[in-house]
A and B are shown apart, each in its own frame.
Chain A
Amino acid sequence: MNFFVPFCIPFIVGAVAMFITLAWKWGLWLYRLPRADKKRIVCGLPTRATLDAAGEVVCESLLHRRIFRVNPLLGYMHMSLAFGWFLLIAVGWAETIAYVGFRWVPLQGHVFFRYFATGLPHKPVFAFIMDLLLLFVLSGVALAWGKRFFSKRMGMRRTTRHVLGDRIALSALWFIFPARLIAESTTCALYEGGGFLTGTIGAWMGEHISTMTLLTLESVAWWFYSSCLGIFFVALPFSRYMHIFTEIPLIFLRRYRLRSDEKESSYDRFQVDACSRCGICIDPCQLQSVLGVDNVQSVYFLRDRRYGMLRAEVADNCLLCGRCAQRCPVQIDLNTLRINSRDRLHNIPAERRYDYLKGVDRSSGTGKVGYFAGCMTLLTPRTLVAMERIFHAAGEEVWWADRDGSVCCGRPLKLAGETDAACKMREYNTELFRKHGITTLVTSCPICLKVFREDYALDGIEVLHHSQYIFRLIQSGRLAIERGAGQFTYHDPCELGRGSGIYDEPRAVIEAIGLLLEPVDTRENALCCGSSVANTAITDGQQLQIARSVTAELEATGAGTIVTACPLCKKALGRGAVHAEVRDLSEIVADAVSK
C-alpha cells in the first residue's frame, strides 16, 4: 500500500519544520542551562520525580486539571482540544495497526488514514470511536470560537489580544478539525464507510452532490486539511501554541527542582514559552479591573519578553501581588520572571554605591530576640509602640535593630531590578544580625520578612513575622489575651500571604481577640492594597483608587476595624477607609493584653 499522495506535502513539510525547530530550541535551551541545573536534571532523572512529572503531564498538559479548577468551561475547552486531539492520534495509530497489522506506516499514513483506507474492509467500531473523538474536539473548537466572541459568557471578562503569528496559527487551528470533518465526509460520500458523523454527512453528500463535483471536492478538502495542518505546524513554534510542547519539559524540569532566580537563565525560556496566553491572569489583575491598564498583565509581559520586545513600562508596571501567579494553570513563576526581567533592564553595578554603610550601627538594647521594624514601620509608630508593649508583657529581652533608622532590607531594590545593590543591603544586615548574636529575628514588615527568609543566609537565626511571633506567645501562655466584643476583618498583605504562605497565624490571633469577618476575596485570593513597593509606574492617584476599591470590600464585611499586618498596607488602606478604622495586628493585640 502506498501512503503518499501530493496533498500530503504541506503536512509533511510543516511537521518536519516543526520538529526541527522544536529540537533546535529545546536543545539550545538545555545546552545553555547553568551547570548546576544540568546536574539537577541528571540526578533527578532516575528518581521518582520523573514518574511524578509524567503523571503531571497527563493531568495538566492533556486533561488541564488546573484550568478546570479556575473555570470548568474553559477547562473543558482546553481538554477537548488537547486530550481529544491526543486521543485522535493515539486511536488513529491503533486503527492503522488494526487495518494493516504491525508494519511501518509513514506519519502522513496515520494522519490521513481515512483517505488511504478506502479500499480496505470497514471497521465500524473504529469509525465510531474516531467520529466521537472528532466531535469531542469540534465541541472544543466551537467553544474557542465562542470565547472569542462571547468571552463574558465563558466566565472571562477579558481575553488576550494576540500577535500576528498567533492569529495565523489560531486561524489554522480553528479550521483543522472542520476541514478534517469535511475531507473525511467527502471520502465517505465517494467510498462509503465512516461513523455516525462522517458517515452520515458523507451519505447525505453522496445523495445531493454529483460524483464529479465530489471528486474535485475531495481533492480540495484533503489539500485544505493538509495545508491547515502544515501552516499550524510551521507557525506553532513561533506562536503561543509552543506551550503545547514546552509545558511538558517544563513540568519535568520543575520536578527536578530547577527554579528561576533574580538573574535571567535559560530555564526561564521553558517558563516563558510554556505560557499558552489563556488570559486567566488578566481578570485577577487589579491594574486591569480598577485602573483599566490592559497591556501589562503577565500574559503580555511574557509575550513581549518572548519576542524580545519587552519595554520597561510593561516590566515595571506590576504590583507583584502574585494574584495572577496564584491562578496560572501552568504555574509559571511570574513574579520571579518579572524580577529578573527588571534586573536585565535596570541592574547597575554596585561595588561602591553603598560604601557609606561601613561601620553604621544604630541598634539599641540587647537580647536573643532581634526586632527589625522595617523602614515603613517607622512611619507607623503605633505598631512600634504596640510591639514594645507586647515584648514587655511577655518579658522578652529585645535587641532593636532599627528603631532609630537603619539600612533597608534590600527587597525594594531587588523588586526594582537593582539586584546587585540589594546584595549589598543583605551583606550589611546579615553582618549586623550576626554581630549582635540574635537567635530569633522578628519583623513587622512582610517585605522584609520575605527577603530575610528567602535571600538572606541566616542559619541559626529563626525569622518570624510579628504575627507568627505573637501567635506563639499566646499559644505558649507567655502572653495573656482578653477576648472582647470587637469585630475585625483581616487584609492579607501580598508578601505575607501569597508571598510567604502565612495565612493562619494572624487569623488565629484575631480570633483570640474578637470576631473575625472574612471579606469576599480572602487568603490566596486577597486583593493587593495597591501601594506595593514593586510598582514604580503607577501614580499616587492610581494607588489611592486601588486602595479605595479594596477598603470598600473590607468595609462591606461590616467590621468596625480593618486589621492588617503590613505597614504599607496599613498606610494604603488608611487612605481608602471611609467608616472603618485601620490597625495593625500588633495594635489590637497590645490593647487586648490582660492587665
Chain B
Amino acid sequence: MKRVIIIGGGPAGMQTALCLVRRGIEPVIVECENELGGKLRNWHVLFPTFTPASDVLTELRRKVRENRIGVHLSTSVETFTDRQATLSDGRVLTCDAVVVATGFTLFDARIKEEYGYGIYDKVITSADLERLFNEGRVVQAAGEHPRRIAFLHCVGSRDEKVCQQHCSRVCCVTGVKQAIEMRRLFPEADVFNFYMDIRMFGPGYEELYREAQQRYGIHFVRGRISEAAPTHDNRLQIKAEDTLTGRPLRMSVDLLVLLVGMRANDQNAAWAADNGLNQAPSGFLQPKDLFLGNVRSGVEGIFYAGTVTAPKTIGETVNEATAAADAVADYLTTKA
C-alpha cells in the first residue's frame, strides 16, 4: 500500500487523510501539537452561519479515529523530501508522497505597539476573543456593562510596516461576525468597526454585513486606528481619522479587539530552500499555478493543502484538502 505523509493535523490535514483512505492510500498525519485540530481548536463559532467550530472539529476527528488513520502527535517534521520525512524524535518515515498542510501563523499583535496589545489589558485580539467565548470569560475581559467596543480590521494584514503586504481575507467577515456576537452579548454596548475596505467575498457574507449594520446597529467607521492610550477611568482612548468626514476622531472604549491577520510560517523558507519549492512574496508557499495546479507544488510528490499557500476560510481549506488528495492519488497511479 502506498503511504503519504501529511504534515499538519488541522482541518486540511485531517480532510486530506480521510480522502486518501477512501482511495486505498495509507495516510500518516504528523502533528506538532498534542491533539488534532490546528487553530480551529481555539475557535468559537464560524462565519457566516455561527456554526460552532467544535461541530466541524468533532466530525473530522471522529472520522480520523474511525478510519484508524496513523497520527503522530506532539511530533514535528524537521526535514522532508518526497520520499521521506525526518521527525523531531529522530525517526525517519518513508513514503510515496508528502502533503504539506502546515497552515499559517497568527500575526503577533504586540508588534503593532501603538495599538497597545500586551500593554493594556483592554486590548485583545480576535483569536483571544474566540478563546474567551469558548471559556465563557468575555465579560471578564470587557467588563459587566461595556459602553463601547471597537474592532480594528487589518492588524498585520496589508501593512508594509510589519512586512505583511497581503490581505488575510477572513478578518473582514470575522470582524463582522464578532461584532454581532458582542452586540448579542452586550445589547447596551455600541460596537464600532474600524476598517479600510470591507471585503465580503463569500456566500452569505454581504448579507451578514448588512445584518450587522441594519439589525445590530453596528457602526462602521472607515479609518485605521493609529494609537490607543489608557484613560484615567481605566478605559482606552483610541485615535483614528474618520476618512469619510475627513476629520480626526477620538473616542473612549471599554474593549479594543484587533482582527489579527494570517502570516506565513517561518518554517516555509527553510523547507522551500531544501526542496526547491517556491515561496510567494508574502512568505506563503506558492502553488504550481492558481487554476489547475493550486494543490501541486511544482516538485514531484509534494502537495499542498489549506492555508500553507494563502489565507483561506475553513470551507475553502476543506475543499482544497479534497482536491489535494485527488491530486496525490492521480500522482501515485501514474507513477505506479
Physical contact A–B (CB less than 8 Å)? yes
- Give the interface of A toward B (CB within 8 A): 378-382, 385, 403-404, 540, 544, 574-575
Contact in complex: A575, B113 (CB < 8 Å) = no
Can you pick out 16 interface pairs between chain A and chain B where the beta carbons lie within 8 Å of each other? Answer: A378-B114, A378-B227, A379-B114, A379-B227, A380-B113, A380-B114, A381-B113, A381-B114, A381-B119, A381-B227, A381-B228, A382-B113, A403-B229, A404-B229, A574-B111, A575-B161
CB of B163 within 8 Å of the partner chain: yes
CA distance A491 to B228 in the complex (A): 27
Closest chain-B Cβ to A154's Cβ sits at a distance in Å of 38
Q: Quick one: which of A379, A380, A575 contacts B163, CB cutoff 8 A?
A: A575
Question: Which residues of chain A are within 8 angstroms of B161 by Cβ–Cβ distance?
Answer: 575
CA distance A574 to B160 in the complex (A): 13
Write the B226-237 contact mask toward A (1 if CB under 8 angstroms, else 0): 011100000000
Question: Which residues of chain B are within 8 angstroms of A544 by Cβ–Cβ distance?
Answer: 163
Nearest B residue to A380, CB-CB:
B113
Closest chain-B Cβ to A528's Cβ sits at a distance in Å of 19
CA distance A382 to B162 in the complex (A): 17
Question: Which residues of chain B are within 8 angstroms of A385 by Cβ–Cβ distance?
Answer: 119
Q: Quick one: which of B114, B162, B229 contacts A575, CB cutoff 8 A?
A: B162
Question: Which residues of chain B are within 8 angstroms of A575 by Cβ–Cβ distance?
Answer: 161-163
Closest chain-B Cβ to A245's Cβ sits at a distance in Å of 50
User: Lowest 3 CB-CB distances: which A-B pairs, in order?
Assistant: A379-B114, A380-B113, A381-B119
Contact in complex: B160, A379 (CB < 8 Å) = no
Nearest B residue to A385, CB-CB:
B119
CA distance A404 to B231 in the complex (A): 11
- Give the interface of B toward A (CB within 8 A): 111, 113-114, 116, 119, 160-163, 227-229
Closest chain-A Cβ to B152's Cβ sits at a distance in Å of 15
CA distance A540 to B162 in the complex (A): 11
CA distance A381 to B160 in the complex (A): 20
CA distance A403 to B232 in the complex (A): 13
For the complex with contacts A574-B111, A575-B163, 12 further pairs of A-B residues with Cβ separation under 8 Å are A378-B114, A378-B227, A380-B113, A380-B114, A381-B113, A381-B114, A381-B116, A381-B119, A381-B228, A574-B113, A575-B161, A575-B162
Closest chain-B Cβ to A234's Cβ sits at a distance in Å of 54
Closest chain-A Cβ to B240's Cβ sits at a distance in Å of 14
Closest chain-A Cβ to B81's Cβ sits at a distance in Å of 26
Contact in complex: A382, B227 (CB < 8 Å) = no
CA distance A575 to B163 in the complex (A): 7
Closest chain-B Cβ to A363's Cβ sits at a distance in Å of 15
Q: Quick one: which of B111, B163, B229 contacts A381, CB cutoff 8 A?
A: B229
Closest chain-B Cβ to A530's Cβ sits at a distance in Å of 14
Question: Which residues of chain B are within 8 angstroms of A380 by Cβ–Cβ distance?
Answer: 113-114
Q: Quick one: which of A382, A404, A540 contacts B160, CB cutoff 8 A?
A: A540
Closest chain-A Cβ to B187's Cβ sits at a distance in Å of 32
CA distance A403 to B239 in the complex (A): 13
Question: Which residues of chain A are within 8 angstroms of B227 by Cβ–Cβ distance?
Answer: 378-379, 381
CA distance A574 to B111 in the complex (A): 8
CA distance A544 to B163 in the complex (A): 9
CA distance A544 to B162 in the complex (A): 10
Question: Which residues of chain B are within 8 angstroms of A404 by Cβ–Cβ distance?
Answer: 229
CA distance A575 to B227 in the complex (A): 18
CA distance A544 to B111 in the complex (A): 15
Question: Which residues of chain A are within 8 angstroms of B162 by Cβ–Cβ distance?
Answer: 575
Nearest B residue to A386, CB-CB:
B119
Question: Which residues of chain B are within 8 angstroms of A379 by Cβ–Cβ distance?
Answer: 113-114, 227
Closest chain-B Cβ to A577's Cβ sits at a distance in Å of 10
CA distance A385 to B116 in the complex (A): 10
Closest chain-A Cβ to B256's Cβ sits at a distance in Å of 13
CA distance A540 to B228 in the complex (A): 24
Closest chain-B Cβ to A347's Cβ sits at a distance in Å of 29
Nearest A residue to B162, CB-CB:
A575
Closest chain-A Cβ to B16's Cβ sits at a distance in Å of 31
Question: Which residues of chain A are within 8 angstroms of B160 by Cβ–Cβ distance?
Answer: 540
CA distance A379 to B162 in the complex (A): 14
Residue of A381, A574, A575 with most partner-chain B CB within 10 A? A381
Question: Which residues of chain B are within 8 angstroms of A382 by Cβ–Cβ distance?
Answer: 113, 119
Question: Which residues of chain A are within 8 angstroms of B228 by Cβ–Cβ distance?
Answer: 381
Nearest A residue to B232, CB-CB:
A364
CA distance A53 to B162 in the complex (A): 52
Question: Which residues of chain A are within 8 angstroms of B116 by Cβ–Cβ distance?
Answer: 381
CA distance A380 to B116 in the complex (A): 9
Closest chain-B Cβ to A35's Cβ sits at a distance in Å of 48
Nearest A residue to B161, CB-CB:
A575
CA distance A382 to B119 in the complex (A): 7
CA distance A544 to B161 in the complex (A): 9
CA distance A379 to B160 in the complex (A): 16
Question: Which residues of chain B are within 8 angstroms of A378 by Cβ–Cβ distance?
Answer: 114, 227
CA distance A403 to B229 in the complex (A): 9
Nearest B residue to A579, CB-CB:
B266
Nearest B residue to A574, CB-CB:
B111
CA distance A378 to B229 in the complex (A): 9
Question: Which residues of chain B are within 8 angstroms of A381 by Cβ–Cβ distance?
Answer: 113-114, 116, 119, 227-229
Closest chain-A Cβ to B199's Cβ sits at a distance in Å of 24
Question: Which residues of chain B are within 8 angstroms of A540 by Cβ–Cβ distance?
Answer: 160
Closest chain-B Cβ to A373's Cβ sits at a distance in Å of 11
Closest chain-B Cβ to A415's Cβ sits at a distance in Å of 22
CA distance A476 to B228 in the complex (A): 35
Question: Which residues of chain B are within 8 angstroms of A403 by Cβ–Cβ distance?
Answer: 229
CA distance A404 to B230 in the complex (A): 11
Closest chain-A Cβ to B4's Cβ sits at a distance in Å of 33
CA distance A379 to B229 in the complex (A): 10
Closest chain-B Cβ to A37's Cβ sits at a distance in Å of 46
CA distance A385 to B114 in the complex (A): 12
CA distance A540 to B165 in the complex (A): 13
Closest chain-B Cβ to A360's Cβ sits at a distance in Å of 15
Closest chain-B Cβ to A349's Cβ sits at a distance in Å of 28
CA distance A536 to B116 in the complex (A): 28
Nearest A residue to B226, CB-CB:
A379
CA distance A574 to B113 in the complex (A): 10
Nearest B residue to A567, CB-CB:
B113
Question: Which residues of chain A are within 8 angstroms of B163 by Cβ–Cβ distance?
Answer: 544, 575
Nearest A residue to B118, CB-CB:
A382
Nearest B residue to A378, CB-CB:
B227
Question: Which residues of chain A are within 8 angstroms of B229 by Cβ–Cβ distance?
Answer: 381, 403-404
Closest chain-A Cβ to B157's Cβ sits at a distance in Å of 16
CA distance A575 to B165 in the complex (A): 13
Nearest A residue to B111, CB-CB:
A574
CA distance A378 to B162 in the complex (A): 18
CA distance A382 to B163 in the complex (A): 21
Residue of A380, A544, A574 with most partner-chain B CB within 10 A? A574
Closest chain-A Cβ to B162's Cβ sits at a distance in Å of 7
Closest chain-A Cβ to B247's Cβ sits at a distance in Å of 15
CA distance A574 to B110 in the complex (A): 11
Closest chain-A Cβ to B161's Cβ sits at a distance in Å of 7
Closest chain-A Cβ to B41's Cβ sits at a distance in Å of 27
Closest chain-A Cβ to B65's Cβ sits at a distance in Å of 38
Closest chain-A Cβ to B269's Cβ sits at a distance in Å of 10
Closest chain-A Cβ to B68's Cβ sits at a distance in Å of 40
Nearest A residue to B114, CB-CB:
A379
